[in-house]
Amino acid sequence: MSSRLGVQIGKVSIGAGAPVAVQSMTNTPTSDHALTLQQIYKLATLGTEIVRVSVPDDQSADSLFRIVEKSPVPVVADIHFRTDLAIKSLEAGVHKLRLNPGNIRLAEDVHRIAELAGSKGVPIRIGVNSGSVPGDLREKYSGVNEDSMWAAAERHIALLTETGFHNIVLSLKSSDPMLTVRVNRKASAECPYPLHLGVTEAGPRGTAEIRSAVAMGILLSEGIGDTIRVSISGSPEPEPLAGWEILSSLDLRHRFVRIVSCPTCARTRLDVEALALKVQQMVQGHRLPVTVAVMGCEVNGPGEARDADLAVIGTPTGFMLWKNGKSLGAVPEDKLETRLMEELNNIERRR
Ligand code: SF4
C-alpha cells in the first residue's frame, strides 16, 4: 500500500493506497498495430495491467489510434526526443506518457506537452535512468549515484510543475539493483509522486528476475513502489509472470496459481521438474489464487500438501493427489494432468 498521490492511468488507479500494478512493454514494431495488439492481448492474459509501447516514428504514432482503441489495458506511450510524437500520442488517446524531459531539448516544448496532457487528464511518467544523468550533475555529485539521479529527476519535475502540471509518476532505474533501491528510497522521502519501480537493462531470464526481485523486494517491503516492471531481454511474456511472482512472494497481491515444488533428491519418485513445469504451463494465465504443490516423495510431501490447495506426491506405489490437506487417493500417471485440471476447475467454480 502506498501513501503517494493518486494517479489515474485509464482504468487503473495507482498510488494513494491502490494495489501495486504490474506493467510490461511490447517489443513488436508499434507501427504494426495488429501485431502489437496481439502481443498486448497476450501480455494482458498473463497479468499485465498497464502496457508501454515505444513510439519512435510517425508510423508508430499513427498506429497508436487503433492500439488505444482496442487495447484491453491502459497504454503508455514511450517518447524520446520528439515533441510532435508526444502530442500525436496524446491526440491518439494514450493513457500515460513516459518522457525523459531532458531529451526534449526546449523547455517550451515540455510545457506544450504538459499543457495538452493536463487538459486531457493524462499523467506523465518522468523516467530517469542511470545512463541518462546529465554531465553537469554527474560532475557536481561525483558520478552516477542516488544524488545525481535524484537531482536529474528534480530538474525534470520542475519543468512540468512550473506549468502547474502535477499529474506525475516517477521512475528512477539503474542496472545496479542497490542503486535502484537507494535512489527510490530518496525519491520516496523527497516527493509525493507515485513511483514506478524497475531495474533497467537487468539482463536475460534468470538474471533479470533475480536482480528485479532483489531491488523490488526491498523497496516494496518498505512500502515503496506503486507499479513494477521486470525488464527481461527478449520476449516480454515472462515479465508479468515474474512481476506477479514478486508481488505474491511479498504477500502483496495474489492473482494466479502459485506452484510449490521440491528441489528433488535421492528419494524422488516422480519427475518433479517436468510435472511442475507442466502444471505451470497448464495454469498459466489462470486467475485463481491457489497453491499447487508438486512433491517428489512421501517424506515431505504430505507436510506441503496439507498447506496447499492441491498437491501431487510421488510415493512407492504411485502418485497421490491431495486437496485442501486431504488425500484423494492414488491417481494413475496417464490421468494425472486431467485430474489436476479437473480439481482446479472445481476449486474455481466454487469461488
Ligand atoms: S520432498 Fe522428498 S523427494 Fe523432494 S526433496 Fe524432499 S525428501 Fe527429496
CB atoms within 10 A of CB 105: 11
Average pLDDT of every residue of the chain: 92
Cα–Cα distance between 73 and 160 in angstroms, integer? 26
Residue 292 and residue 259 in contact, taking contact as beta carbons nearer than 8 Å: yes
Cα–Cα distance between 82 and 59 in angstroms, integer? 14
Residue 77 and residue 98 in contact, taking contact as beta carbons nearer than 8 Å: yes
Cα 134 to middle of ligand 1, angstroms: 53
pLDDT at 88 over 90: yes
User: What mean pLDDT is predicted for residues 321-345?
Assistant: 89
Cα 294 to middle of ligand 1, angstroms: 10
Q: 185: Cβ–Cβ under 8 A, 6 or more apart, which residues? A: 146, 219, 222, 224
pLDDT at 2: 58
Cα 302 to middle of ligand 1, angstroms: 11
Pocket test for ligand 1, best of 270, 271, 275, 299 (most atoms within 8 A of CB): 299
- Domains annotated on the chain, with CATH: 7-249 (3.20.20.20), 258-350 (3.30.413.10)
Cα–Cα distance between 297 and 200 in angstroms, integer? 40
Give nearest CA residue, ligand 1 atom 6: 300
Q: Which amino acid is at 256?
A: F
Cα–Cα distance between 224 and 227 in angstroms, integer? 10
Task: Enter the C-alpha cell of residue 207.
Answer: 538474471
pLDDT at 280 over 70: yes
User: What mean pLDDT is predicted for residues 95-107?
Assistant: 86
Cα 301 to middle of ligand 1, angstroms: 7
pLDDT tens per residue, range 154-210: 999 999 999 999 999 999 999 999 999 999 999 999 999 999 999 998 888 989 999
pLDDT at 305: 80
Name the pLDDT band for 148 (thresholds 50, 70, 90): very high
